[in-house]
Amino acid sequence: MQFGLSYANLKMTTIMTPIVLFLLFLSLTAIPPGGRQYISLQRPGCVRSGVVHHEILHALGFHHEQSRSDRDRFVTINYANIQPGRQRNFRKVQTNNLGTSYNYRSVMHYRKTSFSRNGLPTIVAKGNPNQILGSSFITYSDIIRVRRLYGCRVVHHEILHALGFHHEQSHSDRDKYVTINHTNIQPGKEKNFRKVQTNNSYTDYYYRSVMHYGE
Ligand SMILES: [Zn+2]
Ligand SMILES: [Zn+2]
C-alpha cells in the first residue's frame, strides 16, 4: 500500500471539497485504536462543516469533550435539566487527553443547552457561567489532538473510508483488472477481498490508489 493521496483519489473526492480541504489540512494519521467506523454523509455538499468535523473526529476515535475523565474540574452537569433518557450522553469516559487542556470551544463539546428538557443549561463552565460551549468549526486544539494520537501515514486511507469509500480492489468492476488468489488468503480474511457494488463513475480503476491493497 502506498501512502499519500494520489490524483485519482483527489479527483474522486472533489465532490466533497470542504471535507477534503479539512483532510488536507490535517494531513495526518493512522488506524484508530478501536478500529474504524463508517460515518454517513448522505448529502455531503449540504452538511455543515462543524458537523462533519465532529463526526470525523468520532470516527477517528475521539469522545465528546465534556466526557473527558477530568471534566468535573471544568464543567458542572445539570442532570435535572437533561431530557429523560438522555443522561447517558453526559457520562464520563476514561479518556487519554494527550496532554491537551480542556477546551470549552472544542468542536467535540456539547452546547450549553444540548439535550435540555426545559431550555435551561445542561452544562455550565465552572467559574464562568457565561463561557460559550462548543463550536461550529474544528479548533486548533482539536487538530493538535489528532496529530498527537496518530502518525502521518494511513490517515488518507482511513479518512477516505470514513467518507464512505471502499478499497479499490473491492470495486464492482475489479475482476476486469485484478485476480484475487483466494487460496493464498489467510483463513478468516476472505471478506477483506469481497466485491462491493460501488459507484465508479468518477474514476477508472486505479492500481496505485491509496485505497488499493499492496501485494
Ligand atoms: Zn458527537
Ligand atoms: Zn482500508
DSSP 85-127: T-GGGG-------TTPPP-TT-TTSPPTTTTBSSSS-SEEETT
DSSP 187: T
Which of 31, 38, 8 lies closest to 161, judged by CA?
38
Annotated binding residue at 166?
no
How does residue 93 score in pLDDT terms, banded at 50, 70 and 90?
Answer: very high
Domain ranges of the chain: 49-125, 166-214
- Ligand nearest 63 Cα, by number? 1
Annotated binding residue at 54?
yes
- Is 60 exceeded by the pLDDT of residue 164? yes
Architecture of the domain made up of 49-125: 3-Layer(aba) Sandwich (3.40)
How does residue 132 score in pLDDT terms, banded at 50, 70 and 90?
Answer: very high
**If you average pLDDT over residues 44-49, what whole number do you get?**
49
Annotated binding residue at 182?
no
Active-site pick, 158, 168, 190, 215: 158
Nearest-angstrom CA–CA distance, 58 and 37: 8
Beta bridge partners, 82, equal 116
Beta bridge partners, 123, equal 77
Nearest-angstrom CA–CA distance, 32 and 198: 24
How does residue 37 score in pLDDT terms, banded at 50, 70 and 90?
Answer: very low
> Is 215 an active-site residue?
no
**If you average pLDDT over residues 163-185, what whole number do you get?**
91
Q: How far is the CA of 56 from the centre of ligand 1 (A)?
A: 10
Share of the chain above pLDDT 70, in %: 72
Query: Which residues, including other chains, have CB under 8 Å from residue 132's CB and lie 6 or more apart?
Result: 104, 105, 112
> Is 158 an active-site residue?
yes
* pLDDT attached to residue 166: 87
